[in-house]
Chains A and B, each alone.
Chain A
Amino acid sequence: MRRLFAGLAAGFLLLSTAACGSSDGSGTSDAGASDGTTKVKVGVIPILDVAPVYLGQKQGFYAERGLELELVPAQGGAAIVPGVVSGQFQFGFSNTTSLLVAQSKNLPVKAVANGVASTAEDGADFAGITVKKGSPLTSPRQLGGRKVAVNTLNNICDTSIRESVRKDGGDPSKVEFVEMPFDQMPAALDGGRVDAACTPEPALATVKAAGGKSIASNFYDVSPDLTVAMYFTSRQYAQKNPELVKRFREATAESLKYADSHPEEVRRILTTYTKIPDTLLAKLTLPRWPAEPDRASIERLAQLAQQDGLFKQSPDLDELLP
């Protein structure tokens, strides 16, 4: 889940380049190949969250709809957002806050399908605020004046952690956030370099295996059904290929449903594109994969982000959401 939330930098860059980014068009047009299958490239981050599209590809949900999926692993939103806007990828995976920020800056991004959602179970989410073994911290309100690691500043992790602190009666403005990749957080916690960390799976399982624990489910605290990430395309591509986008959305919805009801197959497909060790694999808390994004939760997330000053102008959800 590393750098999943790193779209910010990309968004900033794109402000100046989006205009010329579409110079080589937005990829293939609807016509597709003569045999009716169209090749689409999807920029994904090789993490737990995108297991459904790997499963859907294997199950043939995309092929049934004439889509030949090429899943291109990229190292995070910083690579995916520009890739989609410039037409290198037809679709991409990004966390919701990054998409909101991109939209608020008028980048031509358009969400097309749900990505991943929190588990709607407080204390048993696929991400949490973790502390090391023996830490005196037991609840988010104590985080004031403490160092908390997030993968990207001014993104979904710090926004949601501030909400956890607020809900628990603490002062979110006193929390000191530091930036580091998710995978380095377990060691940083153990070494005492940070007091708490925003850890999704599999870092969460690593922390727990080392005796640490989760003191709050920050995504849950924003909304029990928080839409954490979505698949998106560029507005030009969506306008040019409405039919194809519709097929991608349907296939993805079916894949999400399938993944949600086949957790064992999810764990199995993970071994094909990640290197999560067997010892952790069985302990992973899987997220939920609802077929549709939850608009109310996205509105709440946008509100909190607005409050944190992430937007210069409010994002237009009608423009962004499918």
Chain B
Amino acid sequence: MRGSGALLGAAGLAGFLALCEAVPRLGVVDADYFPPAARVGDALLTELGDRSFWTALGDTLTGWALGLSIAVTAGVLAGVVIAVVPHLRELTASTVEFLRPIPSVALIPLAVLLYGTALRSVLLLVVYAAFWQVLVQVLYGVRDVDPVAEETARSYGLGTWARGRYVLWPTALPYVMTGVRLAASVALILAVTAELVIGAPGLGARIAVAQTSQAVPEMYALIVVTGLLGLLVNVGARTVERRALAWHQSVRGEVTV
């Protein structure tokens, strides 16, 4: 079953590549502005042989990983506190709903003003975008705690920490993991976007330089790299999710009665 899935996935990718090769060759779009897949592949190989490409990749991954860690830590802590402390949820709900839809990229001028074009600018945008993904999931997760389980734990004399560990955390974890998975993708998108728009060092800045230099195949090669990174991030996040939730029925696939 899994083998055939991978096979189908590969076939789909091959078909997509063939389409990218055919579209410019057939003259549907101008090959100067949308080069055939083979030329992009060539440019990609050249990029891979360039040391500064790997530095840029490292910069992007640093921004992503740091930003994601900060967002997840802050999101989980803030989420638990808001959900557990009485009235705090009602107090913050409207503010959260106000701040959450603000697109991170709209904060670029603020980021530049505060931090220039350094890594911290990227972090500001990444953390802002990823934080809400985690926070909102944690809020849902904590609310999902079964009152019966909670009461049972209480009557068995479990303290606050123990109830947190054995009742709240297992209930919230699937939500947290969903939040982390969403945040991981969003963080990558924002890391590359910040570099692209601000010019902070990384793959995004490299794409921008290729654009301004009219180096079209190189630009697409770098875009392909960001796509591959996204794919890896998603696969990685799913793996982590499966591992962390191996005990959970959604992963065990057990039929519940």
A140 located at the interface, meaning its Cβ lies under 8 Å from any Cβ of chain B in the complex:
no
A82 contacts B109, C-beta separation under 8 Å = yes
Q: Give the distance to chain B from A179, nearest Cβ to Cβ, in Å.
A: 15
Task: Name the B residues within 8 Å of A100 (CB-CB).
Answer: none
Task: Name the B residues within 8 Å of A190 (CB-CB).
Answer: 30, 33
B212 located at the interface, meaning its Cβ lies under 8 Å from any Cβ of chain A in the complex:
yes
A119 located at the interface, meaning its Cβ lies under 8 Å from any Cβ of chain B in the complex:
no
A270 (CB) vs chain B CBs: closest residue? B213
Assuming the A-B contacts A88-B115, A275-B213, A276-B215, are A75 and B196 also in contact, with contact meaning beta carbons closer than 8 angstroms in the complex? yes
| Chain B residues with a Cβ closer than 8 Å to the other chain, count | 25
Q: How far is B115's CA from A112's CA once the two chains are assembled, in angstroms?
A: 23
Cβ 8 A contact of A73, one of B32, B197, B199? B199
Task: Name the B residues within 8 Å of A274 (CB-CB).
Answer: 209, 212-213
Task: Name the A residues within 8 Å of B115 (CB-CB).
Answer: 88
B208 (CB) vs chain A CBs: closest residue? A75
Assuming the A-B contacts A190-B30, A206-B214, are A88 and B116 also in contact, with contact meaning beta carbons closer than 8 angstroms in the complex? yes
Cβ 8 A contact of A83, one of B33, B117, B215, B218? B117
B214 contacts A202, C-beta separation under 8 Å = yes
Q: Kindly identify, within residues 177 to 201 of chain B, every residue whose CB is under 8 Å from any CB belonging to chain A.
A: 196-199
Assuming the A-B contacts A74-B198, A88-B117, are A183 and B209 also in contact, with contact meaning beta carbons closer than 8 angstroms in the complex? no
B116 contacts A203, C-beta separation under 8 Å = no
Q: Kindly identify, within residues 106 to 122 of chain B, every residue whose CB is under 8 Å from any CB belonging to chain A.
A: 109, 112-118
| Chain A residues with a Cβ closer than 8 Å to the other chain, count | 43
A172 located at the interface, meaning its Cβ lies under 8 Å from any Cβ of chain B in the complex:
no
A276 contacts B213, C-beta separation under 8 Å = yes
Cβ 8 A contact of A46, one of B30, B33, B198, B212? B212
A202 contacts B213, C-beta separation under 8 Å = yes
Q: Give the distance to chain A from B178, nearest Cβ to Cβ, in Å.
A: 34
B250 located at the interface, meaning its Cβ lies under 8 Å from any Cβ of chain A in the complex:
no
Q: Kindly identify, within residues 40 to 91 of chain A, every residue whose CB is under 8 Å from any CB belonging to chain B.
A: 41, 43, 45-47, 72-76, 78-79, 82-83, 86, 88-89
A10 located at the interface, meaning its Cβ lies under 8 Å from any Cβ of chain B in the complex:
yes
Indicate the member of A74, A79, A210 with the most B CB atoms within 10 Å.
A79
Q: Kindly identify, within residues 1 to 52 of chain A, every residue whose CB is under 8 Å from any CB belonging to chain B.
A: 1-2, 9-10, 13-14, 17, 21, 41, 43, 45-47
B33 (CB) vs chain A CBs: closest residue? A187
A275 contacts B117, C-beta separation under 8 Å = no
A21 contacts B214, C-beta separation under 8 Å = no
- A-binding residues in B (CB < 8 A): 30, 32-33, 109, 112-118, 196-199, 205, 208-215, 218
* 24 CB < 8 A contacts A-B: A2-B212, A43-B116, A45-B212, A46-B209, A72-B199, A74-B117, A75-B198, A82-B113, A88-B117, A89-B116, A181-B211, A182-B212, A183-B214, A186-B214, A187-B33, A191-B30, A202-B213, A202-B214, A203-B214, A205-B214, A274-B212, A275-B215, A275-B218, A276-B213
